[in-house]
Structure 1
Amino acid sequence: MDLAGLRVVKAVADTGSVSRAAETLHCVQSNVTARVKRLEEDLGVDLFRRMSRGMVPTPAGRVLADYADRVLRLVAQARDAVTDAAGRGGRLTIGTMESTAAVRLPPILARFHADHPDVELTVAPGPTETLLTDLLAGRLDGAFVGGAVDHPDLSGIPVFDEELVLVEAAGGATGDGARRTLLGFARTCAYRGRAEAAMREAGRVPFRVMEFGALDAILGCVGAGMGVTVMPRSVVEREPWRGRLSWSALPGSLGRMPTLFVRRTDSVETASLRAFLAAVSRDGEAEFPATQAPTERTGLNGLKTAC
């Protein structure tokens, strides 16, 4: 059993087929098949069930795939930690909600890059549920997510406190039909849950939902009078949306949502990550401890959400 074999097992378990695993690993299918067969012979167990439309892990295969995931993640962390310790910059991959990337992160990223130009920093935008999944899979070093996080393998700390507002076109351009049309991200977005609750609170029921994949597309269509949305006030008041959109406060606790920076509880805190967290804390509201227990909190107003 070696790292190459573990990568093959994880790829087949993740994709469910030899062909897709080969594409992921950038190799030919025969290599994948041979690796799996060799591992099965070495371990004396079947790792996958061969189905007509793919490969399904056996109980033993699921166990090995889980260990492979952990081992490969540790190897990647070790490589980054050694590079970091040698003063060659290291790598960071940070996930973020689009609204946070648009408003909160630019000054943080600019300062971090100026202070640490050798760090290879990648920013991956997405909704909270996707970001949390990527964190658990080891694809992210940390992520900015909306609302509470309750998972034994994740820990988070509040860094920003967002005021959420109901957004419409300025100048009364939103018609009665559009007031019952909610524009937003998919259900995996924290603000989507708050937006639907806000529509019910305002009595705009029944309402329909139009889903978009980009922040500026949502705000542009709201500005054109197609519907309404719920966003952080900090987003609505930035250019070019200031003056093109109007907003009203949401009632009670619907209008407040913390943004958390979340990590795996077993992740290694490299010097690069420590420096990034220091840059965040200078702009945000948090002090980052070296180690931290998982958060166990309920969402604001009883809403368990994800954006």
Structure 2
Amino acid sequence: MKRIALYHLETLTWIARLGTFQAAAERLHTTQPAISARVREVEDQLGIALFRREGRRMVLTARGRLLIDSCEPLWTGLEQALLDISDFAGASGMIRIGSGEIAAASCLPAFIQAVERDMPGVSMEVELDLTARMLQLLLTGARDLVFLAGPVASPNIRTQPIGALHLAWVAGRAVAQAGGFARPLPVWSLPDPSPIHGAMRDALAQQGVAARSINSCNNVRTLVEIVANGGGAAVLPETMVRGEIASGRLVEILPRPDRMLHFEAAIRAREQEPLVLELFRRTAGLQIDPG
């Protein structure tokens, strides 16, 4: 019998999951040459070519695809068995999480705290970004689990709803006292294609008011400061401006839009790693705005 080690199965599985040697190397915390060397070891043991070069890309041969498709359920089954025995308390590894600013300020801290408590061997890398960018990183394998504004419809993404937020038209106190949209105001929003940007444009049309200009910023906290200091008006998630409204620093100057901002947790549709699937399962208990 050929001597194929477990780390060979793991390497082949991650190449299959992520599509490239480089992505597999990043996931396994090694280098691309190390991944290439492992593949060569398997090829030498079996006496077959698993990949062939096409330009700068390495493409699976037919026999290579057959082997990797066979290896993936073997490795996944082993991972699942070991994790089931320990009820995931013995889980280890790095999980890369992407989140929008709103989810990061709401449900994400409690989620991370629960993972740290229940799975002390798991490390987490969290990066904040806009929805479009997070989807791209998820699909390329650079993120394992993302929290984003939705709804997102894609055959390559599996999603779990985690709640919705009301939106509010707000401006600083001085702008409100001057009549708000009685005259055209500068309007601020997250950049297109953010769902908030679309909700802002829908709300302008629904209310029949004119914007003097439409401006964008990719940070909600910065948007709050801009409008609070008299820079115009904005449609923002009510939960993010609740304190400023209560203090009078911001004032609601138009009725709240009918459209709510929905949020989802998402993983790749073909995700097979048991740890990622378990964390995704746990997102069903989250609520974007528990307050």
TM-score (norm 1): 0.61
Q: How far is 1:116 from its partner? A: 1.8
Alignment of 1:239-278 (within 5 A): 242-247=247-252, 248-252=254-258, 255-268=259-272, 269-270=274-275, 272-273=278-279, 276-277=282-283
Q: Structure 1 225/187 Cα, relative in aligned 2: closer, same or farther at 3 Å?
A: same
Match of 1:221 in 2: 226
- Compute the displacement of 1:127 (Å): 1.6
Name the residue aligned to 2:169: 166
Aligned to 2:122: 120
Unaligned 5+ segments in structure 1 are: 15-20, 50-54, 285-307
Deviations 1:133-159 (A, max 9, x none): 233333444322222222123222322
CA distance in 2, matches of 1:242, 1:73: 56
Specify the alignment match of 1:151 in structure 2. 154
2:200 maps to 1:198: no
Query: What is the number of residues matched between the two proteins?
Result: 265
Structure 2 residue runs without a partner (length 5+): none
Per the normalisation by structure 2, the TM-score is 0.64
Q: Given residue 251 of structure 2, which amino acid in structure 1 is its aligned partner?
A: S
Q: Which residue type is aligned with residue 159 of structure 2? A: G
Q: Tell me if structure 1 keeps the 8 A contact 2:160–2:284.
A: no
CA offsets per residue over residues 35-72 of structure 1, 9 Å max, x none? 99999xx64985232xxxxx4678x79xx89x989x88
Answer yes or no: is the 8 Å Cα contact 1:168–1:246 preserved in 2.
yes
Question: Are 1:96 and 2:99 matched, yes or no?
Answer: yes
Shift, 1:85, TM fit: 4.3
Measured after TM superposition, the shift of residue 102 of structure 1 is 0.9
Q: Which whole-Å CA distance do the structure 2 matches of 1:226 and 1:73 have between them?
A: 56
Question: Does the 8 A contact of 2:265 with 2:280 survive in 1?
Answer: no
Q: Provide closer, same or farther for how the CA distance between residues 104 and 242 of structure 1 changes in structure 2, counting only shifts above 3 A.
A: farther
Instruction: Give CA deviations for 1:66-90 in whole Å, capped at 9, x if unaligned.
Output: x989x88996896587457446443
- Report the residue type matching 1:249 in the other structure: P
Counterparts in 2 of 1:46 and 1:150: CA distance versus 1, 3 Å:
same
What is the aligned partner in structure 2 of residue 301 from structure 1? none
| Kept after mapping to 2: 8 A contact 1:165/1:230 | yes
Letter in 2 for 1:162: L
> Is the 2:147–2:265 contact (alpha carbons within 8 Å) kept by the matching residues of 1?
yes
Cross-structure match for 2:187: 181
User: What letter is aligned with 2:210?
Assistant: R
CA RMSD of aligned residues (A): 4.9
The question of 1:138 aligning with 2:141 is answered yes
The one-letter code sitting in structure 2 at the alignment partner of 1:204 is: A
The structure with the largest alpha-carbon Rg is 2
1:44 & 1:116 partners in 2: Cα distance?
Answer: 39
Alignment CA distance shift 1:81-1:171 (3 Å): farther
User: Measured at CA, do residues 81 and 104 of structure 1 come closer, stay the same or move farther in structure 2, by a change above 3 Å?
Assistant: same
- Aligned residues: percent identity? 19
* 2:226–2:232 Cα contact (<8 Å) kept: yes
User: What code does the residue aligned with 1:232 have?
Assistant: P
Q: Write out aligned runs for 1:7-46 (5 A).
A: 10-11=19-20, 43=49
Task: Give the 3 Å change call, closer, same or farther, for CA 209–283 of structure 1 in structure 2.
Answer: closer
Distance of aligned partners of 1:12 and 1:44 in 2 relative to their CA distance in 1, 3 Å threshold = closer
Tell which deviates more after alignment, 217-226 or 71-80: 71-80
Q: Which whole-Å CA distance do the structure 1 matches of 2:195 and 2:29 have between them?
A: 34
2-structure distance, mates of 1:241, 1:89? 45
**Residue type of the partner of 2:187?**
T
Shift of 1:233: 0.7
Alignment partners' CA distance in 2, 1:131 and 1:229: 24
